[in-house]
Amino acid sequence: MGPSHPPFRFTKSRRLVRGIRRRIAATAGTLALAAGLVAMGPQASAAGLTQVTGFGTNPGSLSMYAYAPDTLAPGPLVIALHGCTQSASDYYAHSGWPKFADRYGFALVLPQTSSANNANSCFNWFEPGDSSRGRGEALSIRQMVDKAVSQYGSDSRQIYVTGLSAGGGMTANLLAAYPDVFAGGAIDSGLPAYCATTVSAAYTCMYSPPDRTPGQWGDLVRSAAPAGTASWPRVAIWQGTADTTVRPANATELRDQWTDVWGIGQTPSRTENLSGGTTLTAYDDASGRPAVEVYSVAGMAHGLAVDPGSGTEQCGATGTYYLDTICSSYHTVRFWGLDGHDQGTGALPAPTGVTVAGTTDTTAALSWNAVPDAASYTVYRDGTKVGTTGSTAYTDTGLTAGTTYGYTVAAVDSAGAAGAISATVTASTTGFAPTCHTASNYDHTVAGRAHQSGGQTYANGSDEPMGLWNTNTRHTLEQTAPGYYVVADSGCPA
């Protein structure tokens, strides 16, 4: 599933070009993985998904499918792009997005490409004629947005786009080309915007993305956007550490690209351990709100992170390239604020002077200035409500040692309406929390957990031998202290 098929356009002879595409696909072999041609398995049907026609000139020859839940209300709109050889209904059935559309009442649009556009039904993310503003597939998706806003009453200020692999590559390009349309995006196992404009460059981006400076990556976005753009989408980046199709280095380059666009640098505002072996690293804007978030899923191969189940934070169904780790859609919804957790509704101002009074291995104590007319205060940890208090102090408990958390506070009036959210403050608990990481020797070195010398791999800190430096040899490493890893193949206590 990865990026997509070589860039060919239908001109005078559609049959000839289609034949060329098929011959290239047939000879690509394992390079199909690197260029985003991985088969996604059989297409699945899903009740509730409806095809929408007449959405514009459709220069990219895409199909528009949509889901409008019974709870639909004027508000956000989410565009979700499938991976190669997938369909809109397949992505609808597995990704988990319908669950949150039902819960929060927003509309979903699932664009679908076909083998007529690309031999393996990949979005042509690396084809300038399909991924630039006002052209091809990108323009077709833009027209779908307009149709959905008109048909479902969606708020044009709350349009979001997400995509897997080839769809992730197209998502990055759409965010760059249309920052005036999309308020946020999520790039799942994808690539930096405009990493490639040829098929050979696509292979390079997948396996060994160019190590450009943040400024160089950011310039690719700025040059694709309308002149004078000053407001940028908020971007979530999802990547498995054991992905051999889209190398984890792509997530680093994506981070560099979008933090540079935001002008916020590459130093994390905080890091948090989530379920499914996932590490969240957040980069806040000047107001303390996350602008870029990177979700690194330990041991996950190429695919979309799902977590089947009926729990609040669970979603999706497993399948080929739908991997049982963590519900990425849930965390993306929260990052975008579609659940309303970061949107105050009352008239009270945001509390000022929020400070961290102290921390232990498991607690963080906070204090802030009183807000006139406040009946109580709600405290949020990393965007999740963790407590309510009638005073101007709160101690959060049950935390993990050696972990950084972000806190915000909102004043609540006597009618129960929460006011504006305060700026974020970070609190780091004392101590150290051991972690486990299972990956190939190559990916361990990329992630900074090991190093190689003479073709052999050694754990950082302990220097324990791990064997050949390649993608086939795998080990579990336990981090027992900062920068210190030991081989834990027989069992990782953490």
Residue with the bigger pLDDT between 165 and 343: it is: 165
Tally of domains within the chain: 3
165 is catalytic: yes
Marked catalytic residue, from 95, 131, 165, 269: 165
Residue 144 in any domain: the answer is yes
Question: Quick one: pLDDT band at residue 346, thresholds 50, 70, 90?
Answer: low
Residue 342 in any domain: the answer is no
Q: Which of 342, 340, 316 is nearest to 329 (CA)?
A: 316
Q: Average of pLDDT values for 288-297? A: 93
- Residue 372 and residue 262 in one domain: no
- Residue 193 and residue 79 in one domain: yes
Residue 213 in any domain: the answer is yes
Question: Quick one: pLDDT band at residue 343, thresholds 50, 70, 90?
Answer: very low
Q: Name the pairing type of β-strands 234-240 and 184-188.
A: parallel
Residue 2 in any domain: the answer is no
- Residue 444 and residue 423 in one domain: no
- Residue 389 and residue 289 in one domain: no
Nearest-angstrom CA–CA distance, 289 and 200: 38
pLDDT tens digit sequence for 357-414: 999 999 999 999 999 989 999 998 877 788 899 999 999 998 988 888 889 898 988 8
Q: Average of pLDDT values for 208-217? A: 94
Question: Quick one: pLDDT band at residue 206, thresholds 50, 70, 90?
Answer: very high
- Residue 406 and residue 447 in one domain: no
Q: Is the pLDDT of residue 30 over 80?
A: no
Q: 285, 305, 336: which is the final residue of a domain?
A: 336
Q: Which of 425, 419, 422 is nearest to 351 (CA)?
A: 422
- Residue 293 and residue 373 in one domain: no
Q: Average of pLDDT values for 76-84? A: 96
Q: Is the pLDDT of residue 186 over 80?
A: yes
Q: How far is CA 325 from the centre of its chain?
A: 14
Mean pLDDT score of the chain, rounded to an integer?
87
CA atoms within 13 A on the CB side of 233: 32
Q: Is the pLDDT of residue 144 over 80?
A: yes
Residue 1 in any domain: the answer is no
pLDDT of residue 299: 97
Residue with the bigger pLDDT between 11 and 78: it is: 78
* Residue for token pair 């400024």: 215
Task: Confirm if 182 and 196 have CB atoms less than 8 A apart.
Answer: no
Q: Name the pairing type of β-strands 404-412 and 418-421.
A: antiparallel
pLDDT of residue 344: 43
User: Residue 419 is part of a domain; what is its CATH number?
Assistant: 2.60.40.10
- Residue 328 and residue 359 in one domain: no
Residue with the bigger pLDDT between 37 and 351: it is: 351
Nearest-angstrom CA–CA distance, 141 and 112: 10
Task: Confirm if 55 and 144 have CB atoms less than 8 A apart.
Answer: yes
Q: Is the pLDDT of residue 29 over 50?
A: no
Nearest-angstrom CA–CA distance, 350 and 212: 39
Nearest-angstrom CA–CA distance, 410 and 231: 25
pLDDT tens digit sequence for 103-124: 999 999 999 999 899 888 999 9
pLDDT of residue 8: 29
Nearest-angstrom CA–CA distance, 308 and 330: 12
pLDDT tens digit sequence for 245-278: 999 999 999 999 999 999 999 999 999 999 999 9
- Residue 217 and residue 267 in one domain: yes
- Residue 468 and residue 328 in one domain: no
Q: Is the pLDDT of residue 45 over 50?
A: no
Range of the domain at 470: 435-487
Please, which residues have CB within 8 angstroms of residue 286's CB and are 6 or more apart in sequence?
264
Residue 343 in any domain: the answer is no
* Residue for token pair 């351990």: 273
Nearest-angstrom CA–CA distance, 222 and 218: 6
Q: 336, 370, 385: which is the final residue of a domain?
A: 336
User: Residue 83 is part of a domain; what is its CATH number?
Assistant: 3.40.50.1820
Q: 303, 336, 369: which is the final residue of a domain?
A: 336
Q: Is the pLDDT of residue 25 over 70?
A: no
Q: Is this model's pTM higher than 0.75 or not? A: no
Q: Average of pLDDT values for 286-299? A: 92
- Residue 360 and residue 477 in one domain: no
- Residue 283 and residue 423 in one domain: no
Largest CA distance in the chain: 73
pLDDT of residue 345: 44
Residue 494 in any domain: the answer is no
From start to end of 16-89, where are the E strands? 50-52, 63-67, 77-81
Nearest-angstrom CA–CA distance, 222 and 203: 24
Task: Confirm if 354 and 380 have CB atoms less than 8 A apart.
Answer: no
Beta pairing partners, 393: 367
Question: Quick one: pLDDT band at residue 424, thresholds 50, 70, 90?
Answer: confident
pLDDT of residue 333: 95
- Residue 79 and residue 176 in one domain: yes
Residue 452 in any domain: the answer is yes
